[in-house]
Amino acid sequence: MNLKLKIWRQKNSNSSGEMVDYNISNVSPDMSFLEMMDVLNNELISKDQDPISFDHDCREGICGMCSMYINGRPHGPDDLVTTCQLHMRKFKDGDTIVIEPFRADAFPVIKDLVVDRTAFDRIQQAGGFVSVNTSGNTQDANTIPIQKGNADKAFDAATCIGCGACVATCKNASAMLFVSAKVSQFSLLPQDKVEAKDRVLNMVKQMDEEGFGNCTNTGACEVECPKGISLENIARMNREYLKASIKD
């Protein structure tokens, strides 16, 4: 396959970037998208040019590191996959592919296609955990009975890998799907109850402070989420937040 790539290049967070055109030939349809980027970078390095920076780590759809806005969609044209799981067979010979970083003021560009997603870490640190007494008397979690339906929903919410595709695709750059998944994975379980109120209030407060937009229920986040996190989680977080605000 021969492809034309239009890629966002930006030296650092302070410089203004631009779209730069590249041509790449002999791309195998069996390559992953990131492997295609590796091949392009090898070519750039061999020409003594600056390679394109992009985030990646596990390359098996688990870590949430890879990002990229490909042809107007986070993680590209395939559904329920991350960029590292996207294969070049999804494109046709002669295609033009537009590659941009995830755009949101809360995700500033560090270099080229790499964005700073530590805002998600700070939201997690604000309450996305269960405090456990590790003094030696820790209760075995399996001794607490949990309804199967709730356990399944909590697990589904916990599959969020925090990649930020929800923010990238939302017209308001809202982080509601991510935060609601992190709230839901606990709120459905009995272990949550003691810290439930503080968790949701603190995580939403941190989300707002990071500068994410407001959710307007367009549903784009659910469509583009590589893990299929449901909008049901946002409704659940809204309920949790309203309950906590009344108690507060």
Partner 1 sequence: MIESSISRKVAMALSGLFLIFFLAQHFTINFTSVFSEDLFNKLSHFMGTNPLVQFILQPILILGVIFHFVMGFILEIKNRRSRKVNYSYQSGISSSWISRNMLFSGVVILSFLGLHFYDFWVPEIKYKYIEFLPDDSQRYYEELIHKFHSPIRVAFYSISFVFLSLHLMHGFASSFQSVGVNNKYSNTIKTIAIAFSVIVPLGFIFIAIFHHLKG
Positions touching partner 1 (CB under 8 A) are: 6, 19, 69, 71-73, 77, 98, 100, 103-106, 169, 171-174, 176, 204-205, 207-208, 211-220, 223-224, 231-232, 234-239, 241-242, 245
22 bridge partner residues: 5
Residue 143 beta carbon to partner 1: minimum distance, rounded to whole angstroms: 30
**Structure-block tokens of residue 48:** 């003594």
* 139 Cβ neighbours under 8 A, 6+ residues apart: none
Take residue 74 and report the two structure tokens written for it. 């986070």
Residue 136 or 149 having the CB closest to partner 1: 149
Minimum gap (Å) between residue 146 Cβ and partner 1: 20
Q: Which residue(s) pair with 70 in the sheet?
A: 73, 99
Indicate the residue among 92 and 132 with the shorter CB distance to partner 1: 92
Quote the strand ranges of the chain, DSSP E.
3-9, 18-24, 69-70, 73-74, 96-100, 109-111, 114-115
Shortest distance in whole angstroms from residue 33 CB to partner 1 = 16
Closest approach of partner 1 to the CB of residue 219, in Å = 6
Q: How far apart are CA 45 and CA 215, in angstroms?
A: 42
Minimum gap (Å) between residue 166 Cβ and partner 1: 11
CB 83 within 8 Å of CB 77: no
Q: Are 40 and 22 in contact (CB under 8 A)?
A: yes
Counting Cα atoms < 13 Å in the Cβ hemisphere of 147 gives 7
CB burial of residue 12 (10 Å; 0-12, 13-18, 19+):
exposed
Of the pair 173, 189, the CB lying nearest partner 1 is at: 173
Residue 112 DSSP one-character state: T
- Smaller CB distance to partner 1: residue 38 or 95? 95
Residue with tokens 């949990």: 146
User: Least distance to partner 1 from the beta carbon of 155, Å?
Assistant: 18
**Which CB atom, from 38 or from 202, has the smaller least distance to partner 1?**
202
Q: Considering the complex, state which of residue 26 and residue 192 has its C-beta at the smaller distance from partner 1.
A: 192
